[in-house]
Amino acid sequence: MRMPEPDRDVMAQRAAIIENLRAIAPNGVIAEDDEMRVYESDGLSAYRTLPMVVVLPETTAQVAAILKYCGEAGIKVVPRGAGTSLSGGALPLADGVLLGLGKFNRVLDIDYDNRTVTAQPGVTNLAITHAVQDQGFYYAPDPSSQIACSIGGNIAENSGGVHSLKYGLTTNNVLGIEFVTIDGEVIRIGGKHLDAEGYDLLGLLTGSEGLLGVITEVTVRILQKPSTARAVLVGFEKSEQAGTCVAAVIGAGIIPGGMEMMDNPAINAAEDFINCGYPRDAGALLIVELDGPQVEVDYLIERVREIAEANGATSLRVSQNEAERDAFWAGRKAAFPAVGRISPDYYCMDGTIPRAKLPEILSRMSEWSEEYGLKVANVFHAGDGNLHPLILYDANKPGELEKTEEFGSRILLACVELGGVLTGEHGVGVEKRDLMGAMFNEEDLNQQQRVKCAFDPDGLLNPGKVFPELHRCAELGRMHIHKGQMPFPDIPRF
């Protein structure tokens, strides 16, 4: 069968775009299909699309020139960090430029007096801690992918991690950013000071998923390592008991440095992978880390022991040294790749519920697992109610991916029903885009889109993400004038 020939006009337009981008970033344009395949997906690997072209700038000036050119030419742009997004936030577009920030990989400034680090967006999360740990400091938000995920991507998704319960998400630890608008304007917000003047644009940009601008520099706060930190492994017969214990610990006024939960499939997968000393017979496992002065930590460990035993704990083990504490966490950090060894594919969900609802959501997921015939390994940021169910499936079996997605949607909708939200740290992207109506009504979504219109009136930055239906700015009752021209001249003024 003869394949249809590509449209000559489209090919000519693409060639012109490539030529113009090469004039801006001579050493950063990738245009061959085989070379672009590494960018065709992100961590949500069930979906793949080759971008029209990839450009890897090296300076803020190049980013500004690329965005200005694309803005004036009406070319879509998808910003990309390390590509570890688990909601499809960095999925490319066949008719868009993929703007990769991988070459922005330098730590620019370490200021111990102000307890800040300034870095380019391509620096990995863990690299920030590595840069300051010899002086007894660290960067608190620590996603499981921290060895690979970029700090710029963390800001785009407002990432969390196992220590976010006590020390906050990315939004609580970022002090300033430099970003570039679709007009090519370079804007700085915040800095080393604790509070920025005026509107909280820093809070607005954090978690904006690349829809408002492209981040080119980041300033984050660093913390001094606590004098004492010990982790407690608590085993339970059932996940529901562990969930009740989580609520009881927080209800007692104890805020652990980290509080994670794993069910039996996740426990055994991690133990096979890391050999970290987890109790294989436990139906669920809590990892509770207490940190601070030694006398406080010793007291809190005993309080957690009392609460755990009152909630049916079958085992309890306290780390005796730093190596053992690290081993306890190593299994949790490796849970995702560990589960990847026991299933051809898995679908990682991300939703958040009130802590007290943990037993109920666990019970529902167990029932749905039987209904769909799909196993689930559960890994939770239990302390803040952030769920990460891993639905195990085989993409090679016809219809199994679709069944998995339906199962996942039911979990997310249940999160909203129980008083939670669709995402805790992975973002909306394309995965949850069409579920946004369950959490927001039409006017809510329109108001959010008006914010996007203020930054990106032509809708060129990461289109197709977050909003189930992106309205043109004029349709939202706000006519934005861009460089003296209306973005949609076919629509009459009013």
My answer on whether 418 and 445 are in the same domain is no
pTM: 0.90
My answer on whether 48 and 9 are in the same domain is yes
| CATH code for the domain of 402 | 3.30.70.2740
Q: Which residues make beta-bridge pairs with 53?
A: 97
Query: What does the alpha-carbon distance between residue 280 and residue 283 come to, in Å, rounded to a whole number?
Result: 8
Give pLDDT < 50 ranges for the chain. 1-3, 478-494
Query: Residue 100 burial by CB count (10 A; 0-12/13-18/19+): exposed, middle or buried?
Result: buried
Question: 418 and 360 in contact (C-beta within 8 Å)?
Answer: yes
| Domain-located, residue 306 | yes
Distance of CA 97 to CAs 37, 66, 275, 360, 449, Å? 14, 10, 44, 44, 22
| Domain-located, residue 325 | yes
Burial 285-302 (b: 16+ CB within 10 A, else e): bbbbbbbeeeeebeebbe
Mean pLDDT of the chain: 92
My answer on whether 50 and 190 are in the same domain is yes
pLDDT of residue 358: 85
**Token pair in block for residue 1:** 């069968």
My answer on whether 76 and 162 are in the same domain is yes
Number of DSSP helices (H) and strands (E) in the chain, helices first: 15, 19
| CATH code for the domain of 288 | 3.30.70.2190
| Domain-located, residue 241 | yes
Question: 437 and 395 in contact (C-beta within 8 Å)?
Answer: no
Q: How many CA atoms lie within 13 A of 173 on its CB side?
A: 29
My answer on whether 419 and 472 are in the same domain is no
Backbone angles phi, psi at 74, to 5 degrees: 70, 35
pLDDT of residue 491: 30
Query: What does the alpha-carbon distance between residue 480 and residue 327 come to, in Å, rounded to a whole number?
Result: 55
pLDDT of residue 4: 54
Query: What does the alpha-carbon distance between residue 118 and residue 238 come to, in Å, rounded to a whole number?
Result: 44
My answer on whether 185 and 238 are in the same domain is no
CA 1 to chain centre: 43
pLDDT of residue 144: 87
Of 225, 249, 264, the residue at which a domain comes to its end is 225
Backbone angles phi, psi at 317, to 5 degrees: -140, 130
Three-state SS string over 68-92 comes to HHHHHHCCEEEEECCCCCCCCCCCC
My answer on whether 450 and 374 are in the same domain is no
| Domain-located, residue 413 | yes
Burial 68-97 (b: 16+ CB within 10 A, else e): bbbbeeebbbbbbbbbbbbbbbbbbbeebb
pLDDT of residue 159: 94
Strand, helix or coil for residue 176: strand
Element (H, E) at 268: helix 264-274
Of 321, 340, 359, the residue at which a domain comes to its end is 340
Neighbours of 397 (CB within 10 A): 11
- State the pairing for strand pair 186-190/258-263: unpaired
pLDDT of residue 355: 84
Domain count for the chain: 4
| Domain-located, residue 434 | no
My answer on whether 146 and 216 are in the same domain is yes
pLDDT of residue 47: 84
Distance of CA 424 to CAs 170, 172, 415, 442, 466, Å? 12, 14, 11, 22, 14
Q: What is the residue range of 250's domain?
A: 228-340
Question: 150 and 101 in contact (C-beta within 8 Å)?
Answer: yes
My answer on whether 325 and 361 are in the same domain is no
Residue carrying structure tokens 């003024």: 493
My answer on whether 264 and 166 are in the same domain is no
| Domain-located, residue 76 | yes
My answer on whether 233 and 113 are in the same domain is no
| CATH code for the domain of 82 | 3.30.465.10
My answer on whether 71 and 10 are in the same domain is yes
Instruction: Dihedral sign for Cα 325, 258, 152, 411, please.
Output: positive
Of 340, 370, 402, the residue at which a domain comes to its end is 340
| Domain-located, residue 171 | yes
| Domain-located, residue 435 | no
